[in-house]
Amino acid sequence: MTGSIILWMRYETIRELLIPKIGFGTWTIGGQENADLTGDDRFMAALRSALELGYTLFDTAEVYAAGHAEELLGKAVRESGVARDKLFLTSKVSPDHLAYEDVLRCCESSLRRLEMDYLDLYLIHWPKQGMNLPETFRALNVLVRQGKVRHLGVSNFNLKLLKQAERLAETPLLTDQVSYCVPDRTYVLNGVLEYCQQNDILLTAYTPVKHRFVKGNKNLLAMAGSRGVSPYQIALAWLTTQPRVITIPMSLDPRHQAENLLAADIRLSEEEMQRLA
Ligand SMILES: NC(=O)c1ccc[n+]([C@@H]2O[C@H](COP(=O)([O-])OP(=O)(O)OC[C@H]3O[C@@H](n4cnc5c(N)ncnc54)[C@H](OP(=O)(O)O)[C@@H]3O)[C@@H](O)[C@H]2O)c1
């Protein structure tokens, strides 16, 4: 394969933006619901190796390790010397903060923890029963106008909510970040994937390999064997081969990080895609 084809396979081009097909997730970096400061050396080493390997898209959230994931990510980026404009950083506002003043305040807090002056992408982490979506988007639109956020998106939104969010956003929504992997087709069945593909919205697949399915799926194992790659790479390539789908695996292990990043260079055939479906 030529270099330019590989480059093309590693990115989604959307409204003149080049978005990596494979980014790096940060759930459990820094702790889980609470900060776990005892693991900082291990977490920093993982972020350092991800940056050294060439990951440029990082996904975090205010709730990850109660903000500590953002602190560590910001620190790792600063220490790496990678220029801010070479990176694409996403954070998310928690469902408990979907009110005008709260959204503005939470974005400021995320920026403060990251020690950055803008986010590339800011998402509503989860919809919440009774949330005031118009008020939430009024604040999100202000953040875009102020330049604190470059793009807006949502996460865990079904089709009805996604369309509602689109109407309230002053700028095109960049993504709906949802659970999507070989055994989880919820957002195919509910129509979100097709809608995203038809309307220039990225579907960001989270938890792409965590479930135990990778080691137990005969098709994944057979394809990995015949191509001489790992079954995790096939599971990721099954996502990245699909138009408008990107994904954000998390790994603390530099060998896993490296193989995950390279999965974007694998293009599955129609027949292989069908076999996994
Ligand atoms: N928007 C939302 O509501 C939402 C929800 C969940 C997740 N997310 C985002 O999506 C990201 C990814 O999801 P996730 O962290 O839940 O699950 P994941 O990335 O599917 O799985 C992470 C687990 O898989 C293992 N792993 C990764 N690559 C591997 C490989 N090549 N070989 C063997 N094991 C591998 C890791 O272990 P090792 O460390 O040992 O490699 C880790 O335990 C999160 O970090 C977060 O940023 C968003």
Protein residues with CB under 6 Å of any ligand 1 atom: 25-27, 59, 125, 155-156, 177, 206-210, 230, 232, 248-253, 256, 259-260
Give residues with Cβ within 8 angstroms of 201, minimum separation 6. 162, 172, 173, 174, 175, 176, 195, 244
Digit-by-digit pLDDT tens for the chain (277 residues) are: 667 777 778 999 999 999 999 999 999 999 999 999 999 999 999 999 999 999 999 999 999 999 999 999 999 999 999 999 999 999 999 999 999 999 999 999 999 999 999 999 999 999 999 999 999 999 999 999 999 999 999 999 999 999 999 999 999 999 999 999 999 999 999 999 999 999 999 999 999 998 778 988 999 999 999 999 999 999 999 999 999 999 999 999 999 999 999 999 999 999 999 999 8
Can you tell me which atom of ligand 1 is nearest the CA of 61?
47
At 34, the amino acid letter reads N
Question: Which of 75, 60, 23, 8 lies closest to 257, judged by CA?
Answer: 23
| CATH code of domain 3-204+244-252 | 3.20.20.100
Question: Hey, is 147 helix, strand or coil?
Answer: coil
Can you tell me which atom of ligand 1 is nearest the CA of 230?
31
DSSP E strands in 106-161: the ranges are 119-124, 149-155
Rounded Cα–Cα distance for residues 167 and 152 (Å): 12
Can you tell me which atom of ligand 1 is nearest the CA of 178?
1
Q: What pLDDT, on a 0 to 100 scale, did the predictor assign at position 220?
A: 94
Known catalytic residues are 64
CA–centroid distance, 109 to ligand 1, in Å, is 25
Rounded Cα–Cα distance for residues 210 and 230 (Å): 14
Q: What pLDDT, on a 0 to 100 scale, did the predictor assign at position 1?
A: 64
Strand-strand pairing, 175-179 and 119-124: unpaired
Among protein residues, the one with the nearest Cα to ligand 1's atom 29 is: 256
Residues annotated in a binding site for substrate: 125
CA–centroid distance, 235 to ligand 1, in Å, is 12
pLDDT in tens, 42-69: 999 999 999 999 999 999 999 999 999 9
CA–centroid distance, 47 to ligand 1, in Å, is 14
- Specify whether the CB–CB gap between 76 and 108 falls below 8 A: no
